[in-house]
Structures are given as structure tokens and as C-alpha cells.
Amino acid sequence: DKANYRHFMAKEIHEQPEVVGHTLARYVDMGTERVMLPARLPFDFNDIQRISITACGTASYAGFVAKYWFERFARVPVELDVASEFRYREAPLRKGDLAIFISQSGETADTLAALRYAKSQGAHTLSVVNVPTSTIARESEIVMPTLAGPEIGVASTKAFTCQLMVLAALAIAAGRGRGELSEADEAKLVHGLVEVPRLIAAALTTEPQIEKLAREIAKSKDVLYLGRGTSYPLALEGALKLKEISYIHAEGYAAGELKHGPIALIDETMPVVVIAPYDRVFEKTVSNMQEVAARGGNIILMTDAKGAEEATVESLVTIIMPDMAATFTPIVYAIPVQLLAYHTAVVMGTDVDQPRNLAKSVTVE
């Protein structure tokens, strides 16, 4: 049932304050401001020398964001792979290390095969899944469910933000377990997480502006997405979302990689979406924007009020996001990224919920 929405994707985008809130309530004790994992872990984070994260598509970008969080909060090295590569390259896993798998459907063939491989190597397996009865959930040693509810649109939206919420909680737990986060650090991070559902609701109010912008984007043949730090995986996600539902070619790049090749593509016909909350790498991203502007590129800047004030570059459109702690911006900036893909696809007249050549659950390799 699409409620009053034209597409499931629109409905699922708008459900995010609620379902991310449900997921938060499952993993965080608001009273004590501590993370609480639903299951007792069969290992000690202190014994984990390395974490591997494996998934496909959008789920892999959630894992990519989580890599930054695990490394920052818990100082544990994280290796990230797409499942189709991980399963065949026979990655050396140490017995007792932690292997995390992320999947909305819990049935993705490559992710399942990667899970079976990790098990065969003696790793602890933990899956973040949206379908609790799925094969990946059943075969994992530890299951951390996302409470997104059924996701019908082929393009993953609410599952992604719920995956990020679960992974943030897990990364905080890892930081605590390894003694890298004090109680006060943890409380501060939990505070930040608790704000996220409200911030997502605020981010949804950018929709009319994005709808207008989508009419411009729909005229383009190619779109470039740039980001640094945790905004980099989000740039990859933005490009994936746009290409899969609007069929407009898009690429996501680490902003710092621009001058190593993709800058050659920039002209007045290629919009450049820059995801840049005002954080510790903001100034660096501004200099990349200057490089784009100097070549006549049209910049669409997603930032907050402070960023808009400090960005010394002319942008075509600036999407002002709510002020928030820098750590969890990817969960909130996912909203304008999803809305831009959605409205562009609507303008293009594509089948938004059932894009050509794609299946919701990829059970063949």
C-alpha cells in the first residue's frame, strides 16, 4: 500500500524519521545514554584485531561509512569489500576476527557466499539484515536487525539509513569495548544519534527545492557527486541511486581525487553535486569546489548554514541542511541524495519502483 504517495520509494523515503527512530530505540538506552546491543556478543572487542565488512550495492556504502566510524571510535582497522570480490579472492581471515555482512533482503547470493566463506575460516559472523527470517540472518552467528519494515521500491532508501543507525551503535559499542571511548564520549555520541530522527524530518523539508532542482538535473547526460570523509561513501550512494532509477549516468568520487582525472570531464553541462557538511574536512572540499567553478562547472552544494556562509564559491543551488554534530551527517544527508534521485526519475518518467533490468533481491551471482 503506497498510502498517499505516487511511488513506494517516496513513501519509504518519508518513513525514515519513524523507522530510523524505531531502530534507534532498539539499540540505544535513552535513559542511561548507552548503546545496548540486542544480543550478548560471543567475543570481546579487545580480542578483535581486524574487522571485515562485506555487502553489495547500497548496503556496501553503509559499510563504507561504518569503516570510518569503527576506525575512529574503536581504532580497529576495517577492510571493506563488495561481496562478489571478497568471496573469490580468498581474503585471509584470522580465526576469531569479526566479519560483518550487511543486506536488506538477507538473500543476496554473493553476500551469502561471502558469509559462508568467512564461517569456514573461523571468523565470527555478524549480519545487519532487514529481513529477520532470511538465509543470511539464519546462517549468521549474530544478527542485528534493522527495523525498516518491508522495503518494496527496488532502490534501497530506508534500509540504508537504518543500516547506518545499527552500524553506528555497533561502532560505539566497539569503542567502549576496546577502551577507546570513555563513558562521557559514549554519552556524547549517543546524544548525537538520538537527534537523528528529528534531523531526518528536518531534512525532508528540502523536498520542494530539490523537486525544482531535479528539473535541471534531468536535462543532464552525466552528473558527478563529490564528498570527503564519510560524505565520500554518500557521494557513491548518490551516484548509484541516480543512475539506477533515472538512467542518467553518474559517478561518485572522493573530492580529493578530482584532480587525478575526473576534472577533465568538467564543463557547463555536467552538474557537480558536492556533499559537504561543515566538518573538519570542509575547507578541503571548498578548494575542490573552486577547481570545479574555475572550469565553468555548475555546483549543487549540500551543506548547513555555517557551510553556506563559509563556502567562498558560487553554487547553482545550495541545499541548506539542519545544523548537527558532524559525526552522523551521512544518515541525514542521505535524505536530499535520495530525494534528488527520486524527483529526477519522476521528471524522466521512468518506472521508479521497478527500474529496468533490476531486481529487488539478487539471488543469482
Residues involved in catalysis: 360
3-state secondary structure 35-64: ECCCCCCCCCHHHCCCEEEEECHHHHHHHH
Query: CB of residue 57 vs ligand F6R: minimum separation in angstroms?
Result: 2
For 8, the grid coordinates are 513506494
Query: CB of residue 142 vs ligand F6R: minimum separation in angstroms?
Result: 17
- By CB neighbour count within 10 A (0-12 exposed, 13-18 middle, 19+ buried), where does 210 fall? buried
For 249, the grid coordinates are 549516468
Q: Establish if 148 lies at the interface with ligand F6R (CB under 6 A).
A: no
CB 346 within 8 A of CB 246: no
Residue 64, phi then psi, degrees to nearest 5:
-65, -40
Q: How many residues bind ligand F6R (CB under 6 A)?
A: 16
Task: Write the binding mask 97 to 136 for ligand F6R: x where contact by CB under 6 A, - elsewhere.
Answer: ------xxx--x--x-------------------------
Name the residue nearer to ligand F6R (CB basis): 109 or 317.
109
Radius of gyration of the chain (CA): 20
Name the residue nearer to ligand F6R (CB basis): 109 or 320.
109
Q: Establish if 155 lies at the interface with ligand F6R (CB under 6 A).
A: yes
Q: Which of residues 72-101 bind ligand F6R (CB under 6 A)?
A: none
How many CB atoms are closer than 10 A to CB 330? Answer: 29
Query: CB of residue 241 vs ligand F6R: minimum separation in angstroms?
Result: 6
Q: Establish if 200 lies at the interface with ligand F6R (CB under 6 A).
A: no
Angle at 75 between CA 72 and CA 76, to 5 degrees: 115
Q: Establish if 23 lies at the interface with ligand F6R (CB under 6 A).
A: no
Name the residue nearer to ligand F6R (CB basis): 103 or 231.
103
Kind and range of the H or E element at 240?
A: helix 231-246
Name the residue nearer to ligand F6R (CB basis): 52 or 156.
156
Name the residue nearer to ligand F6R (CB basis): 200 or 258.
200
Report the residue from 23, 52, 54, 58 that binds ligand F6R according to the rule CB under 6 A.
Answer: 58
Query: CB of residue 161 vs ligand F6R: minimum separation in angstroms?
Result: 12
Task: Write the binding mask 268 to 307 for ligand F6R: x where contact by CB under 6 A, - elsewhere.
Answer: ----------------------------------------
First to last CA, the chain: 31
Which residues lie closer than 8 Å to 362 by C-beta, 6 or more apart? 56, 108, 109, 110
Q: Establish if 244 lies at the interface with ligand F6R (CB under 6 A).
A: yes
Q: What size, in residues, is the chain?
A: 365
Query: CB of residue 341 vs ligand F6R: minimum separation in angstroms?
Result: 9
Burial 292-319 (b: 16+ CB within 10 A, else e): bbeeebbbbbbbbeebbeebebebebbb
Distance of CA 290 to the CA centre of its chain: 26
- By CB neighbour count within 10 A (0-12 exposed, 13-18 middle, 19+ buried), where does 221 fall? exposed
Name the residue nearer to ligand F6R (CB basis): 156 or 315.
156
Task: Write the binding mask 322 to 361 for ligand F6R: x where contact by CB under 6 A, - elsewhere.
Answer: ---------------------------------------x
Q: How many CA atoms lie within 13 A of 22 on its CB side?
A: 13
Report the residue from 51, 56, 98, 167 that binds ligand F6R according to the rule CB under 6 A.
Answer: 56
Query: CB of residue 134 vs ligand F6R: minimum separation in angstroms?
Result: 9
CA-to-CA distance for 63 and 78, rounded, in angstroms? 10
Contact region with ligand F6R (CB under 6 A), list: 9-17, 51-59, 204-212, 218-226: 51-59
Binding site for ligand F6R (CB under 6 A): 56-59, 103-105, 108, 111, 155-156, 240-241, 244, 361-362
